[in-house]
Amino acid sequence: MKHDKWTLILGGSSGMGLATAKKLANDKTPIILIHRDRKSAMKKIQEEFDALASKTSLITINANALTADGRQGILTRIADDIGDGQIHCLLHSIALGNLRSLVPSEDEPRPLSDEDFGQTIAYMGYDILLWVQDLYSRGMFAPQASVIGLSSEGNQKAWAGYAAVSAAKCTLESVSRSIAVEFGRFGIRSNIIQAGITETPALALIPSHQEMLEDARQRNPLGRLTRPEDVANAVYLLTRPEASWINGALLHVDGGEHLC
């Protein structure tokens, strides 16, 4: 497919990743969408992909993006598919972490382990850096490329069952700042979007998610929950030329929820 600049979305079959793909598709942005879904879920997902493909050039790859072999295989396929094209934006929207409690209970007899922590921090914390390093080493980044990760209020607040993900979000933000500094001279910017509490499939896995939703509704200054489309709008803004001087930032996209 002959296009100069592509957006690569890791974790794009639901939630904020899919919402971003829809936003960018409306702008005719060519999209590469990486997801990992079972065959049983693909009928509904494929309907979403078909809708995207009716608006823009779309490459979808159903593969494990969280292993070294998986990453290299995906990048090789992308390079074959886009030819001389380059990655203008990388959005890391993979939400795969362990939500065990720190303390054993009758419902959850096994508490969070060091392996649980390690995997969660790897997948949701520094995996974004591994993609940046490999895209850079292959010369696949476009000039003035944008790297975007997604964080949450869990970077500072403690929620039951969220300890490992909270640690991963802090790691992600730290790594993003380092990418901003060390890759900046190569024209690669890195920023983090901290979304408000958003009703997504990933949130539903958190044991206390109903309480989190109600709390967010009550304290948000604008009187509603954050929507995936709000985050998609922010990603879109960060990919525009007018955002070329935003680097190493944490952008709150929550209607002011973090203030209350």
The model's pLDDT over 110-129, given as tens digits with 9 standing for 90+, comes to: 999 999 999 999 999 999 99
d(CA 42, CA 40): 6
List the chain domain ranges.
Answer: 5-259
d(CA 241, CA 20): 18
* pLDDT of 76 over the 80 cut: yes
> What pLDDT does 1 receive?
62
With contact defined as beta carbons under 8 Å apart, do 12 and 94 qualify?
no
Closest to 190 in 3D by CA, of 247, 124, 129: 247
> What pLDDT does 186 receive?
98
Residues 139-181: tens digit of each pLDDT = 999 999 999 999 999 899 888 889 999 999 999 999 999 999 9
* pLDDT of 251 over the 70 cut: yes
Half-sphere exposure of 139 (CA within 13 A, CB side): 2
Region 96-111 average pLDDT: 90
User: What is the DSSP code (8-state) at residue 155?
Assistant: G
> What pLDDT does 154 receive?
86
Domain 5-259: CATH class, spelled out: alpha beta
Region 171-196 average pLDDT: 98
Residue 61, φ and ψ in degrees, nearest 5: -135, 120
List CB contacts of 246: < 8 A, sequence separation 6 or more.
189, 191, 238
